[in-house]
Amino acid sequence: MSESSRDLAVAGRPREVQGVRTSNRWVILVAAILVQLSIGSVYAWSVFGKALQSPDAFGWSKGKAAVPFSIVIGMIFIGSYVGGRIQDARGPRVVALTGGIIYSVGVIMASFASRPDLFWVLVVGYGVIGGFGLGMVYIVPIAMLQKWFPDKPGLITGLAVAGFGFGAVITAPVGQALIDHTPSVPTKAFLWLGIGYLVALLIGASFFANPPKDLAEEETASRAPVAVAGQDRAEPASAVADFTQQEALGTVQWYLLTLILTMSVTAGISLISVAAGSATDIASYSKTAAASLVGILAVFNGGGRILWGWLSDLIGKMPAFMGILGIQAICLLLIPHVGNKVLFAVLAALVYTCYGGAFGTMPSTAGRFFGVRNVGAIYGLMLVGWSIGGVVGPLLVANLIGNTKNYSLGFTVIGIITAVSILIPLITKKPKGRAVAERLPT
């Protein structure tokens, strides 16, 4: 590229390169948020889970009602792994469109689980098919936007995944309204929700595209902050040697980061999965108020992704994760003993903020540790931590709480485990580069 053309690009004048206008990165960011809003509806599950437990509906136990949610979270890893690899080879649009269709079909299929004996339809549709499609879609904006915005990876990935956290803001009250129309068959709500998701996902994903290679280089050169010796947080992810997926898996750091994500997910999702029920049982919220609270808490889930993503760029990634885990641990230990509605909401909001914060911080951490070229595949594999935590957290807390509603036992056990996990980011150090990265013993 000539100096004159580089100067024009750096000045911000739009250019057409390989069919992509270089000024479109903000449009793509908005489209990514729309897509994440659609799939983030999964965090409103506690509204559906509570409805399915009603004796006027299916009368399922708390543990059984948690199974579809655990499966959908468990399937995300598989979908994100497949989507990440295809995206690195074929680009983001085809993956997001395909995943969006699969997710929407799974949600629509769940609406046909119209009787208690059709539990398997809900599990296969919402859980297996929906979870796989969700994972394919979820990984796309995270990898794509780090390439469009190498100058602010933490903030931008935080904004992207904030949409996922905000999804329940819309779905919780809308879902409750749809359930109230047919309270004896709450699964009917999934038909209209699935159609709505399909429309939004097709519109948003149609804007997706990777930046031209030379644009990424220009953005890095013109926007990235100058690294200061000894300050890891000042170094742009694009300045890091790009690891292949196999090389990343050969480092201790990949496993430590995945473990951090697993522990944060386990902590936060243990509350999220029973949020509506615990609000009613612990703080005496009404059914409608509990559903509204779930929607409000989703704002903090989304906002935490932006807040912690931005904060991690300032204070460093590992200090941010220590704060994320520590705050969740304290709040979970306190929540079972809080009968006041306002205090319950405050503590729950802090848990949601930190839970979302891990997802806002980890993508840019992966880019900072391993480079952005293959971050779709590398971070896609890390989401096995989301799947593990998403299965273990809801099932563990549901069984500890049990039919006796022993929230003190359930949240105390999860809180202690989370407190111990603060040690993990304390010992996690960034690889020094591909050639000198700390390797696992062979």
Q: What is the pLDDT of residue 221?
A: 46
pLDDT attached to residue 359: 87
Nearest to 76, CA basis, from 171, 161, 194: 161
- Could you tell me which of 34, 25, 185 has the C-alpha nearest to residue 113? 185
Using CA atoms, how far apart are residues 77 and 59, in angstroms rounded to an integer? 30
C-beta separation of 431 from 369 below 8 A: yes
Low-confidence ranges of the chain (pLDDT < 50): 1-22, 216, 218-234, 237-238, 435-442
Domains and CATH numbers, the chain: 20-220+235-427 (1.20.1250.20)
d(CA 301, CA 27): 23
Q: Which letter, b or e, does each residue of 285-311 get, where b requires 16 or more Cβ atoms within 10 Å of its Cβ?
A: bebeebbbbbbbbbbbbbbbbbbbbbb
pLDDT for the residue numbered 106? 94
Q: Encoding tokens for residue 150? A: 């190498």
pLDDT of residue 436: 40
Provide the pLDDT for residue 261. 95
Instruction: Please give the structure tokens belonging to residue 196.
Output: 């709505």
> What pLDDT sits at residue 8?
34
Contact 297, 47 (CB under 8 A): no
